[in-house]
Amino acid sequence: MDPSPSQVVDSVRYEPDENPPRSLAMALALQFSALVLGAIVLTVAIVFRAAGMDEGYVAWGAFAALLISGAVTIVQALRVGPFGAGYILCMGTSGAFIAVSVAALQQGGAGLLASLVIGSSVFQFILARRLSLLRRILTPTVGGTVIMLISVTVMPLLFDFLYDLPAGSPLIAGQIAALVTLVVTFVVVLLAKGPVRLFGPIAGIIAGCIASWFLGILRFEALLGASWIGAPVASWPGLSLDFGSTFWVLLPGFTLVTLVGAIETIGDAVGIQRVSWRKPRATDYRAVQGAVTADGLGNLLSGLFSTVPNTTYSSSVSITEVTGIASRRVGVWIGAIFCVLAFLPKFTQVLLAIPQPVIGAYAIALISLLFMLGTRIVVQDGMDYRKATIVGFSFWFGVGCQYGQLPLDGLPSVLQELLSNGMTAGGMAALGLTAFGELAGRKRARMRAPLAMEALPRIQRFLEDFGRRGKLSEETAHRVALAAEETLLLLVSNTEGDGAEDGAPDPAPRRLLLTARRDGSSTELEFLAAGGEGNIEDHMAVIGAQMAPDPVSDEFSLRILGHLTASVQHHKYADTDVVTVRVADSVGTVSA
């Protein structure tokens, strides 16, 4: 549930533009880092060891992942050009990439992994740029389904970790260490309260390592041989871009996981805005685009360094909400800590010395929570018969493909390899069904016009025709027309003053795309226009509090719009404003 205005006012101690004392910022950054450092390094260990890579490459991957995560966390906080959200969004390696990264390393080594990660970053840059055009296809329903399927593809790899022990060690030792890890993790997660609950995975790993020491499966040789300061540059495998047939077979899977990571980043960027300000604000999708673009930068660097891709961590939102400190200074300190620790091999080897059964148990707990995160994303988006069909079919189609229960023998070999991965198969099914539902569903009436008040007569005629075809009551049709007029007036007002300077030629006229459709017992109008400075949602929240002593025309339009509509959503992208206005039917309306 989103925080109410009063909760936001009470809980936020430092907004993004405010700077807490340096000591407080450093202390919070250290606390934040302690929660996520293990995940960054251990995900690398899980991927590289599952693929059978040597320990030198594992050490390099951990170093590169820490360094890149730190640098991009700083970029997220500072918002450098188009890169970054301007909020505390911690970057780190993602469990979503485990399955596809292992497949790339097993089938083509470090060169193939680098090629695929760089290719996925290009897709992410394009996605961030065109986010407004893909808003109806890249839905939480698709993202949640793919996240659920990640556990289906990854769990078999993690179960193998429970049997990976030093030579001569009894099997029971690994089982006990894994059990201790799981028990302590879930005791803390289920019984602790407040921020203590976030330390459940760390407590589980510590308990598992203590048990491993008593059982004789904890080894310190690599730790003792590691230097205090330095970088494992000699272990870098080099950059060998491979665009062979295996690349094209695995690319769809990487693209889908990148899409999932982007959807998660979008959710994190929306969530961090909700908990970072004392007074509620409408979501600024320019910051969301910046977060996704920074994600792409992190993946590009990960590819160049031949390590696991990264993404934003959702715990950024939780910790910011719990502490009430959203200052960008904290985000910069977090990134700086990551970068410094990357050059301390002793620290990295402490994490890499954790026995495989403990890592496997930790990852099983993590992926189990990831599965539930997927279900929560799906449910929070609202569940109806259409969405239930998409989720149910796509999930079980992916499971069937993953475990060979669906016949694929008659398909071309490329398709067989593509669909043999359950996450790829299920994700493609979810995307296809979502796109089909959007294309084959109730059609949207649409019109184009200049973004100017002179277009109002054309818009009114368009809506009159829509109302007749939709059999709207006279009262509802009148309110729809009034709502459209006030929205147009506000959009024109928001874009005034952005024209050419004196003496310069007039810029090309801004365009407006208006779509209208029936949605249950309401009418939905969507205005797509060139970007402006104001946000209608924010203005409506302000004027809703109290009437200004000398109200301006915009304020009257906002009040009228609030009276006429059931909801108004204004999403601002880098170059586009998307305003969605919903007008509920009046009594006696005949639904279309």
Please write the tens of the pLDDT for every residue from 13-43.
888 888 888 887 887 787 677 667 767 887 8
Domain termination site, one of 329, 356, 383: 356
Residue 437 located in a structural domain: no
Residue 414 located in a structural domain: no
The verdict on 453 and 553 lying in the same domain is yes
Residue 6 has pLDDT above 50, yes or no: no
Q: Which residue has the tokens 């109008």?
A: 525
Q: Which domain holds residue 223?
A: 9-166+219-356
The verdict on 237 and 89 lying in the same domain is yes
- Per-residue pLDDT reduced to its tens digit, 104-153: 888 888 888 888 888 888 888 888 887 766 767 767 777 778 777 877 77
The verdict on 151 and 254 lying in the same domain is yes
| SS3 call for 80 | strand
The verdict on 470 and 321 lying in the same domain is no
The verdict on 237 and 338 lying in the same domain is yes
The verdict on 156 and 253 lying in the same domain is yes
What CA–CA distance (Å, rounded) separates 584 from 520? Answer: 9
Residue 211 located in a structural domain: no
In this structure, what token pair is assigned to residue 17?
């533009």
- Per-residue pLDDT reduced to its tens digit, 390-420: 888 988 988 888 877 887 777 766 566 667 7
Which residues, other chains included, contact 246 with Cβ-Cβ below 8 Å and sequence gap of 6+?
A: 107, 108, 112
Residue 289 located in a structural domain: yes
What CA–CA distance (Å, rounded) separates 102 from 124? Answer: 21
The verdict on 342 and 471 lying in the same domain is no
What CA–CA distance (Å, rounded) separates 226 from 345? Answer: 6
- Per-residue pLDDT reduced to its tens digit, 300-348: 999 888 898 888 876 677 667 766 778 888 889 999 999 988 898 777 7
Q: Which CATH number do you get for residue 576?
A: 3.30.565.10
Residue 88 located in a structural domain: yes
Domain termination site, one of 294, 324, 356: 356
Give the residue from 15, 272, 287 showing the smallest Cα distance to 131. 287
Give the residue from 585, 550, 549, 551 showing the smallest Cα distance to 565. 585
- Evaluated on CA atoms 404, 257, 42, 324, the torsion sign reads negative
Q: How many domains does the chain have?
A: 2
Give the residue from 117, 521, 430 showing the smallest Cα distance to 296. 117
The verdict on 345 and 451 lying in the same domain is no
The two beta strands, 511-519 and 522-530, are antiparallel
Residue 33 located in a structural domain: yes
pLDDT at 555: 66
Give the residue from 356, 75, 97, 90 showing the smallest Cα distance to 208. 356
CA 209 to chain centre: 32
- Evaluated on CA atoms 56, 59, 61, 67, the torsion sign reads negative
Residue 573 located in a structural domain: yes
User: Is the pTM here over 0.95, yes or no?
Assistant: no
pLDDT at 546: 47
Residue 526, judged by CB atoms within 10 A of its CB (0-12, 13-18, 19+), counts as middle
The verdict on 270 and 127 lying in the same domain is yes
What CA–CA distance (Å, rounded) separates 367 from 150? Answer: 8
pLDDT at 315: 67
The verdict on 451 and 326 lying in the same domain is no
Residue 546 located in a structural domain: yes
Domain termination site, one of 307, 328, 356: 356
Complete DSSP assignment for 81-148? TTB--SS---EEE-GGGHHHHHHHHHHHHHHHHHHHHHHHHHHHHHHHHTGGGGTTTS-HHHHHHHHH
What CA–CA distance (Å, rounded) separates 442 from 465? Answer: 17
Helix ranges restricted to H, 280-327 = 285-304, 315-323
Complete DSSP assignment for 351-408? HHTS-HHHHHHHHHHHHHHHHHHHHHHHHHT---HHHHHHHHHHHHHHHHHHTT-S--
The verdict on 453 and 332 lying in the same domain is no
Q: How confident is the model at residue 294 (pLDDT cuts 50, 70, 90)?
A: very high
Partners of 469 in the β-ladder: none
The verdict on 463 and 332 lying in the same domain is no
